[in-house]
Amino acid sequence: MKNKKVLFLTQAAMIAALYVVLTFVANAFGMASGAIQVRLSEMLVILPAFTPAAIPGLFIGCFLSNLLTGCCILDIVMGSVATLIGALGAYLLRRWKWLVPIPNILANTLIVPYVLTSPYGYGLTDAWWYLVVTVGVGEIISCMILGMILCFALKKYGGRLFS
């Protein structure tokens, strides 16, 4: 494709749309929010290793997902910022494939429990450390396990898909 800006916008839009769809699938099974959450869409955080268009795509996808699934304002903002931090970190670590999911795992594990316990968020009374563990385990499942499966599946065709 000759027009790089169009390619970038198209890839970002497709990634955002895929993030929203996968979040709705997880939400249908009650896995997309709450103290224990495994968002299938979080496996997409490995995509910045293939294309920088994934950074705005993941951010916008998370923002729209949180907005459309009825999350509180603090979750819409802070959850999206956590995903943006994770996507930027993933892009910076793209040379070391096994480290790519780590920034997103850390950002969400530290930020989401605050949103869950905040009186401006969901006001859960669970212990902050309990939420760190449950959110962290969910992030490890979705980002590290499912994300790395996706990463190695894309390894063969990533050059053609994200050229």
Which stretches of the chain are DSSP H helices?
4-28, 54-68, 73-92, 102-117, 128-139, 147-155, 158-161
- C-alpha dihedral over 154, 88, 42, 32, to 10 degrees? -160
- Distance separating alpha carbons of residues 114 and 157, to the nearest angstrom: 38
CB 41 within 8 A of CB 48: no
pLDDT, tens digit (0-9, with 9 covering 90-100), for 26-75? 988 888 777 778 889 999 999 999 999 999 999 999 999 999 998 899 99
Model confidence at 159, pLDDT cuts 50, 70, 90, reads: low
Q: Rg of the chain over CA atoms, in angstroms?
A: 15
Please tell me the predicted confidence (pLDDT) of residue 150.
93
Please tell me the predicted confidence (pLDDT) of residue 158.
65
Q: Which amino acid is at 100?
A: V
The pair of three-digit structure tokens given for residue 42, joined into one six-digit string = 């979080």
pLDDT, tens digit (0-9, with 9 covering 90-100), for 72-123? 999 999 999 999 999 999 999 999 999 999 999 999 999 999 999 999 989 8
